[in-house]
Amino acid sequence: MALTAAAVVLASGMLLASCGGTSPEQRAYREASKNCQQWVKESAKNPSSAKIPQPASVRSASGQIIVQWEHGEGLTLMNGFGANVDSTARCTMSLDGHFLKELVINDEVIRRSSSD
């Protein structure tokens, strides 16, 4: 009985220890997601009506982080006629998730850094 209790305590401790750590990559992805959502919102025609869910895709490619929403993934932004419509967006960012290299909304480049 005491051995079983000790095993449960040990297993619980290992589980808590493994859940507590977040890798640098996970932190960068989370930071990139948060920053990209904010940049998309700031670039919207009507930020208060924009619906910007968690990004459907966050990945690393060619030494940068790509945060992306495709059609049908919940991103809605106001169009020129004042209607909120299904939209796409992509942020290309530095590997730490802080520096925006390029923001594209509905296939239009909104922001692009002058240095890579």
Q: Which domain holds residue 82?
A: 24-112
pLDDT band at 3 (very low <50, low <70, confident <90, very high): very low
56: left (phi over 0), alpha (psi -120 to 50) or beta: alpha
pLDDT band at 72 (very low <50, low <70, confident <90, very high): very high
Global confidence as pTM: 0.78
Residue 11 located in a structural domain: no
Residue 46 located in a structural domain: yes
Rounded-to-integer distance, Cα 90 and Cα 70, Å: 9
Give the total number of structural domains in the chain: 1
Share of the chain above pLDDT 70, in %: 81
Residue 53 located in a structural domain: yes
Q: What pLDDT score does 14 carry?
A: 39
Residue 4 located in a structural domain: no
Cα distances from 108 to residues 5, 73, 89, in angstroms, run: 60, 18, 9
Residue 15 located in a structural domain: no
Residue 2 located in a structural domain: no
Share of the chain above pLDDT 90, in %: 77
Q: For residue 116, what are the contacts with CB-CB under 8 A and spacing of at least 6?
A: 101
Residue 1 located in a structural domain: no
pLDDT band at 88 (very low <50, low <70, confident <90, very high): very high
What is the average pLDDT score of the chain?
86
Residue 19 located in a structural domain: no
